Amino acid sequence: MPDDPLILLFVKAPLRGQVKSRLAAVLGQEAALELYRNFVLDMLASIEAGGLSFRICYYPPDSGEIVKNWLGSHLQYLPQEGNDLGERMERAFRRAFSDGAARAVLIGSDIPDLSPARFRDAAGQLDRTGAVIGPSKDGGYYLIGFRNDAFVPGIFQGMEWSTGTVFKKTLQIFEQERFEVTVLPPWQDVDTIDDLKDLIERSRDSAFSASRTMAYLAGIGTDLFFSEVRDANV
């Protein structure tokens, strides 16, 4: 339905050596790849549990068959196209709105424990304000969304991506445009081994303790965090 919010899930093709490089430096490329696969599957499960429509936006743009073979041909797909992350995000929103979506929320694929309630809350906030954003603890953001009639493409232009100032500068652009935005509570994405340990710790008493990600971590058995995973699954 056009009035339903559309979740835009940005994923990378599951190719060895091309995902979660900082985790791969510690865990090895095969473990990092399998961990990433579980991240995405857990996020899809949360989106579906929230009852929301979604579109898989994959990168690189020529990896469509790889991603479809991984996640299933029954889902809705769109290649990420553009010269940088900002242009790819802007184009994904423009396509969603040109296809008739009234509201769209874009998220990355490194926040596997994001709950169905957070997805619903983000989409619901767009009934009140034209935009919504969720800051991550590294200075970026894990989620951004717009109503069709309040899209601000300048948010994605001229930004220094993968730096600790992305969220701050994005808010400055909203302020300059005199644009009302809802700021969600922060969430921690998972890029480093410390992030992974934090994920394990905060999952001890949550529903995520029964996730694919946690089950995979429990099976790795590495001394880096085996005790944390074991305790979280007790």
Give the tens place of pLDDT for each residue, 104-145. Answer: 999 999 999 999 999 889 989 998 999 999 999 889 999 999
Model confidence band, residue 221 (pLDDT cutoffs 50, 70, 90): low
Which pLDDT does position 219 carry in this prediction?
84
pTM: 0.92
Overall average pLDDT of the 145-160 stretch: 93
Q: What is the C-alpha to C-alpha distance for residues 50 and 119, in angstroms, rounded to an integer? A: 7
Q: How confident is the model at residue 234 (pLDDT cuts 50, 70, 90)?
A: very low
Is residue 67 helix, strand or coil?
A: helix
Contact 138, 187 (CB under 8 A): no
Mean pLDDT over the full length of the chain: 91
Q: Which residues of 52-63 are buried (b: 16+ CB within 10 A; e: fewer)?
A: bebbbbbbeeeb
pLDDT in tens, 16-71: 999 999 999 989 999 999 999 999 999 999 999 988 999 999 999 999 999 999 99
Query: Judging by beta carbons within 10 Å of its beta carbon (0-12, 13-18, 19+), is residue 116 exposed, middle or buried?
Result: middle
In the predicted model, is pLDDT for residue 214 greater than 90?
yes
- Residue 223's pLDDT is 56
Work out the percent of the chain whose per-residue pLDDT is above 90: 78
User: Are the C-beta atoms of 7 and 55 separated by less than 8 Å?
Assistant: yes
Structural domain boundaries in the chain? 5-187
Contact 93, 8 (CB under 8 A): yes
CA dihedral 105, 135, 64, 153 (to 10 degrees): 60
Higher pLDDT: 109 or 1? It is 109
- How sure is the predictor about 88, in pLDDT bands with cuts at 50, 70 and 90? very high
Q: Report the pLDDT value the prediction gives residue 204, as an integer from 0 to 100.
A: 84
Of the candidates 142, 118, 128, which has an alpha carbon nearest to the alpha carbon of residue 180? 128
**Residue 110 is encoded by which pair of tokens?**
């490194």
Residue from 139, 119, 126, 174 nearest 8 by CA: 119
Burial classification of residue 13, based on how many CB atoms lie within 10 Å of its CB (0-12 exposed, 13-18 middle, 19 or more buried): middle
Q: Looking at the predicted structure, is the pLDDT value of residue 228 above 90? A: no
Calculate the alpha carbon distances from 86 to 52, 91, 96, 116, 160 in Å: 24, 9, 16, 26, 9
**CATH topology classification for 5-187:** Spore Coat Polysaccharide Biosynthesis Protein SpsA; Chain A (3.90.550)
CA neighbor of 193 nearest in space, from 201, 182, 204: 201
Q: How far apart are CA 100 and CA 28, in angstroms?
A: 42
